[in-house]
Every structure is written in structure tokens, then in C-alpha cells.
Amino acid sequence: MTNLLSDKMPDQTIRSQARRRIPVIARLLILLPLVIAGWLAIRSPLLPAALTQSALPKGEAPSGTLRFAAIGDMGTGEKEQYEIARQMEETHRRSPFGLVIMLGDNIYENGDQGDIVTKFERPYANLLSRGVRFQASLGNHDVRRGREAEIAYPGFNMNGRSYYSFSRGDGLADFFAIDSTRFDEQQSRWLRDSLASSTARWKIAFLHHSIYSSAAAHGKDDDIIELRARLEPILVAGKVSVVFSGHDHTYERTHPQKGIQYFVSGAAGKLRKGDLDRHSPFLAAGHDQSQSFMLLELDRKSLRFWSIDISGKVVDSGSLRPRK
């Protein structure tokens, strides 16, 4: 009787079978990244090229394209705010944009009307002279003493309202400025109805408080968690694609949450160095070592984004799809 435990296959047979297995393994290793990329594309609005588009666009935005910038927590009047403003000017020279969304804490420390010249008009004078339009939202420092003054100030284009919407590009994008310092039932109804009636390809919300953040300073605050519970269902039901916020003095791109891409860009003046929790489940990419702002460009197919630091270096970039 043959002993199956002791009988051995000839060495030549073993080597032949091993050679046949190696190409199969190699093919599986080649296919694995493609399978993973396909799975991510289904689950995420990020395009496969999400981290490879570091080069800024050059020249005027093509027809059918909207280009804009985002800044938050900028109104310090200090040299870092002016240096970021100069980087914005340089970016505008190479990649002209006509719109800046402001993510709150526009005028530190208390929103005093007397500080608007030194903390807004002077830093951004060159952009304002070139016709760039700034659209503001309110932060917690703004409303200490400056709520009414800021919403009435012509340069912030709020038209006397702490929350409002505006459109760009003939159905291309609708922007919704949210007052996160006073998100009451009246504003909640307005936002729900406004999103429901919007037919824009891109629905973009911006506000001060970050309802998803990996920053140690505010990411786990009770008021942030409460705001998320009230606001997020409205954003999801309204098919918002992208949300921009400040409050945390960092740059962060989260992993998409319930189909929405969140960006924190709260370091255009203030900076809280080393504040990001690198183990946070929300964090996809972030920068907390220097001040920064964002440049964005969208058309009907995709939105491209760049986070640019105080030295002009691109610290994060990529592209994403609109929600359907």
C-alpha cells in the first residue's frame, strides 16, 4: 500500500507547478489596485486622480467653468493674513478667479466695524480692485459685536442677511451661505426649501463651524456634534456635493461622509499648528504646519481643488464628481 504521507513528488514536477502558479499570482497583484480603485469610485465622489493634480490651472477659466477661492479665519490684520493675500494675488495672476467665499471669523476679535479697513479692505485691496467678489458667512468672533455691521457691509455681499444663497454659471452651481452661529428652525426651513428647489449641477454649502473635523481644538465639541445632528440630514436630503467651513485653524479634506465631501479651510490668517489628529477616522488629508487657502475650479463633470500654503506650495489637490 502506498504511504501518502511519506511519498514525495519528484522535484521537477514541483518546480513545474510552482512556475505555473507564479503568473497567476502576478496577474492577481496587477488587478488588485484596479479592483480597489473601482470599489472606491463607487463609494466616493473622489475621482481616481484625486491626489495627482498638483499643477495649478493657467490662464482664464475655460467657457462653462467656474473658478473661485475659499478662505477662513483670516481677519487678524497680521502679517500672515497679508502674506496669504499676496499668494492669492499671485494665484489670481496665473489663474484668474472672480469669487472668494469667506468661511467666517472675518474680523477678529469681535467683528468690530472699525477694523474692516485693516483686516479686509487693505489686505485684499488688489483683488478688490480687479473686481473679485467676496461672499461672506459669519463666524463666532464676528457675532460678538459685529453681526449687524457685517451683514450690512457692502464688501461682504450679504445684503443684510446672515444666511442666503447665490448662483453662478446658468445652472452650474448654487451656493448656500449658512449662519452656523444661529442655526434656528427658521434657517433650517429656509435651507431645506432652498436646496429642494435648486436644480443646479453643483450644490455647495459654506459656513463657519466644521461639522466634520479632525482638529483637537473643536472637532469633538458638544455644540459641533449637536449642529451636525441638525444640519447633516438637510444637506444629505438636499443633495449637497461639497461643504466648506473654517473654525478649526487648519486645512483638512475629510473622507466623504454620506456622499458629501467636506473641506476645512480655516487657516488664512490664524493657525493652530499640530492640531490635526492623524488617527481620526474623518481625516483623508490635512495640513497644520502653515497658513493656507483654497483654489477651486468646476464644470459640469468635476470639481478640481488645490490647497495652497503661505509659501505658494500646493499641499493637497484632486478632483471629485457632483452628487446625482
Cell numbers standing for residue 153: 457691509
Give the domains, in start order, of the chain with CATH numbers: 66-320 (3.60.21.10)
- Looking at every residue in the chain, the average pLDDT score rounds to 89
Beta strands in the chain, from DSSP E residues, in sequence order: 66-71, 99-102, 133-136, 164-168, 173-177, 202-206, 242-245, 251-254, 261-265, 283-287, 292-298, 303-309, 314-320
Distance (Å) of CA 216 to CA 69, 243, 247, 269: 26, 20, 12, 19
pLDDT of residue 96: 98
Q: What is the pLDDT of residue 47?
A: 52
* C-alpha cell of residue 221: 465639541
pLDDT by residue (tens digit) across 224-277?
Answer: 999 999 999 999 999 999 999 999 999 999 999 999 999 999 999 999 999 999
Model pLDDT, residue 46 = 60
pLDDT for 219: 76
| Interatomic CA distance for residues 200 and 322, integer angstroms | 10
Instruction: Say whether pLDDT at 31 is over 80.
Output: no
What's the rounded Cα separation, in Å, for the pair 67 and 295?
A: 7
The pLDDT of residue 171 is above 90: yes
- The sign of the torsion formed by the CA atoms of 315, 31, 282, 240 equals positive
Rounded Cα gap, residues 226 and 221, in angstroms: 9
- pLDDT band of residue 32 (cuts 50, 70, 90) is low
Res 49: pLDDT: 38
Return the closest-CA partner of residue 77 out of 118, 138, 126.
Answer: 118
Predicted confidence (pLDDT) at residue 16 exceeds the cutoff of 80: no
For residue 21, pLDDT over 70 is answered with no
Q: What is the pLDDT of residue 221?
A: 85
Residues comprising the chain, all counted:
324
Condensed to tens digits (0 to 9), the pLDDT of residues 81-112 reads 999 999 999 999 999 999 999 999 999 999 99
Lowest mean per-residue pLDDT among 41-45, 114-118, 294-298: 41-45
